[in-house]
Amino acid sequence: MSDELWRMSAVEAVARLKKREVSPLELVEASANRIAAVEPSVNALPTLCLDRARDHARRIMQGGAATEATGEAGWLAGLPVSIKDLVDVAGVRTTYGSPLFADHVPATSHPLVEKIERKGGIVIGKSNTPEFGAGGSTFNEVFGRTRNPWNTSLTSGGSTGGGAVSVATGEVWLAQGSDHGGSLRGPASHCSVVGLRPSPGRVTRGTVGNLWSPLSVQGPMARSVADLALFLDAMAGFCPRDPMTFDAPAVSFSDGLARPVTPKRVAFTADYNGRMPIDREVREICARAAQRFAGLGCIVEDASPDIGAADEAFHILRGQHFVVDRELQLRNSRDKLKPDIIWNTERGLGQTPTDIARAERERAAFYRRIVEFFGTYDLLVTPGALTPAFDVNLRNAPSIGGQKLANYMGGSTVTAVITLSACPAMVVPCGFDQFGRPVGLQLVGKPRGEAALLQAAALFEELLGLNRLLPIDPRPGSVPATG
């Protein structure tokens, strides 16, 4: 019975919960057993809260918890989920991946966790993340490295690497994560799962210091688009503690999938007109996958928005973001911060008001160009990552397409540029390279266009059927000698 449960989709599990064919407590135990079986191989959920989860399951079963949300979109009915270790869960060790907070146990939960739990989601554990979420590979000095289940010698990506692995292996049905430059999309690409960066304001960010910045958002990960839509419904909506949030849509994202609208015109670009390096095989796999939209009746064309200096603007504004978040820690605890944190923060501190003003002007101009671009196209398609998963022991890929990277963010340009546009974007699996490493496709929708984006992704997913390969048992392997 336990083996049957963890293999089910989130949508099926919730349907069975609602019919009382299975109980929340049975799902918690199925999750706990699966975690015990695979966690030693992947290190995705280093902090568990099983007794807390069991207590929550019993309260739901007795009608004493979250019952006011049973009629709302996104009702999870007692489904276990993972929460990224950047996000507070009351009474559960939350380290942010940093030695500075190795023993931190918050007294209250993040507003998003409160919402997920009110919607019947049961927190089973905290997923691993790089220190403060900065990094394209998931490792830290508190818990060590998270490994890719398709090949445990490879990285899961970052920074929601633990979340991606937790759903890919069946430890949980859904995973919460966050995305600044690609932290939901990169791990989705590397682990062959689905990850969505929602529009800023779609999901509450709670009480962060950067409340007025649209760069970093919270969002869902899952094994399929339908599961992802279910979790987005549980997350979306106005939150008084986040001034950027707005109301959830009248028609739920899950209901929208029942009547999908096919995009008419789809644009594909592998590298934004040659503006970034890309692995040759990734380029070829993604180009073939993008052409699959033609099978749905779409017009597919090679076309790219003009990114201008958006890549430079992203780094400037990201630096300012780090100044807000990390300046005081850099001043007081520099020796305890990893080099990536120091680099990002010092870059921000070294910028001038003129630099920031130039970046803001470029961000505004890029947004106007994106809006114009979406006047012609309904969907923009790019690779989900510029390279497949690399050695788990490395901070980042040393080179991509034969070109050395100047810094760890160099491999994230394909997703980071889209962050600056404020458009919703998600990654769906689209194939595997010659070494069996997953490759994902990034789909970018119109501003606040999550509903249409999810529908296009669901139609694409149905064509390929790669979601049916999950969940998987972790597989040992070696690092490909790709030169």
197-206 confidence digits (pLDDT tens) = 999 999 999 9
Distance (Å, whole) CA 23 – CA 132: 35
| Weakest-pLDDT range from 111-120, 294-303, 393-402, 412-421 | 393-402
What is the maximum alpha-carbon separation in the chain?
A: 62
- Residue 66 has a pLDDT of 55
Query: Could you write out the DSSP letters of every residue in 14-77?
Result: HHHHHTTSS-HHHHHHHHHHHHHHHHHHH----EE-HHHHHHHHHHHHTT-SSGGGTTSTT--S
Q: Which single residue is written with the structure tokens 């993008």?
A: 290
Q: Going by C-beta distance under 8 Å and a sequence separation of 6 or more, which residues neighbour residue 140?
A: 95, 97, 98, 128, 129, 130, 131, 338
Q: Are strands 403-404 and 399-400 parallel, antiparallel or unpaired?
A: antiparallel
The average confidence (pLDDT) of the chain is 96
- Residue 342 has a pLDDT of 96
Extended strands (E) in 156-247: 174-179, 194-197, 217-222
Catalytic residue among 9, 31, 109, 159: 159
- Residue 197 has a pLDDT of 98
Known catalytic residue at 156: no
Distance (Å, whole) CA 165 – CA 186: 12
Asked whether 394 and 155 are in contact (CB, 8 A), the reply is yes
- pTM (2 d.p.): 0.98
- Residue 406 has a pLDDT of 80
pLDDT interval class at 3 (50, 70, 90): confident
| Cα–Cα separations (whole angstroms), residue 23 to 52, 173, 266, 338 | 16, 15, 43, 43
Distance (Å, whole) CA 50 – CA 56: 10
Known catalytic residue at 264: no
Distance (Å, whole) CA 86 – CA 159: 10
| Cα–Cα separations (whole angstroms), residue 206 to 105, 216, 240, 265 | 18, 12, 9, 36
- Residue 65 has a pLDDT of 66
Asked whether 124 and 56 are in contact (CB, 8 A), the reply is no
Catalytic residue among 166, 183, 189, 412: 183
Q: What is the CA radius of gyration of the chain?
A: 21
pLDDT at 483 over 70: no
Asked whether 93 and 107 are in contact (CB, 8 A), the reply is no
* Among 241, 177, 239, residue whose Cα is nearest residue 207: 241
Asked whether 148 and 197 are in contact (CB, 8 A), the reply is no
Known catalytic residue at 333: no
- Residue 415 has a pLDDT of 98
Distance (Å, whole) CA 251 – CA 248: 8
- 151: region left, alpha or beta (phi > 0 left; psi from -120 to 50 alpha): beta
- Residue 1 has a pLDDT of 59
Domain boundaries, the chain: 2-469
pLDDT tens readout for residues 132-173: 999 999 999 999 999 999 999 999 999 999 999 999 999 999
- Residue 207 has a pLDDT of 84
What is residue 203's DSSP assignment?
B
| Cα–Cα separations (whole angstroms), residue 443 to 20, 185, 320, 375, 452 | 36, 10, 28, 16, 11
Percent of the chain with pLDDT over 70: 98
pLDDT at 303 over 60: yes
Q: Which CATH number fits domain 2-469: 3.90.1300.10, 3.40.50.720, 3.40.50.20, 3.60.15.10?
A: 3.90.1300.10
pLDDT interval class at 77 (50, 70, 90): very high
Tokens, residue 290: 């993008």
- Residue 67 has a pLDDT of 62
Helix ranges restricted to H, 74-126: 111-118
H/E element, 153: strand 151-155
pLDDT tens readout for residues 362-388: 999 999 999 999 999 999 999 999 999
pLDDT at 194 over 60: yes
Distance (Å, whole) CA 389 – CA 433: 10
Angle, vertex CA 121, rays to CA 163 and CA 77, nearest 5: 135
- Residue 68 has a pLDDT of 67
Distance (Å, whole) CA 383 – CA 386: 6
Asked whether 118 and 112 are in contact (CB, 8 A), the reply is no
pLDDT tens readout for residues 421-473: 999 999 999 999 999 999 999 999 999 999 999 999 999 999 999 999 999 99
